Amino acid sequence: MTATGGSPGKLHDNPKLHKTGVPLRTTVKGKITQQKMAEIVENELRAHLTSLLSYIQDTPDFLNKLQ
């Protein structure tokens, strides 16, 4: 699945000044936000994940599997 109607986001690094060695946190700024990217990944993986025996949809599903 590819995004349409936009340009790629720009990567930015923010230093974590409170951590030893000052590691960087990478962020993406652009029309496709991290939330949108997460939605795309979730939609792509949903069919694969829901077919796993270990997949639990919600509390009632969990309780049914316990019985």
Dist. CA 52–CA 65, nearest whole Å: 13
Domain ranges of the chain: 9-49
- Show the DSSP H helices in 1-67 as ranges: 34-50, 59-66
pLDDT for res 66: 93
pLDDT for res 46: 87
Give the predicted TM-score (pTM) of the model. Answer: 0.37
Residue type, position 53, single letter: L
Two structure tokens written together for 67: 């019985």
pLDDT for res 31: 67
pLDDT for res 60: 95
Beta-carbon neighbour count of residue 30 at 10 Å? 15
- Beta bridge partners of residue 15, listed in sequence order: 24
The end-to-end CA distance of the chain, in Å, is: 38
Task: Convert the pLDDT of each residue in 17-64 to its tens digit.
Answer: 888 888 888 887 776 677 788 888 888 888 888 888 889 999 999 999
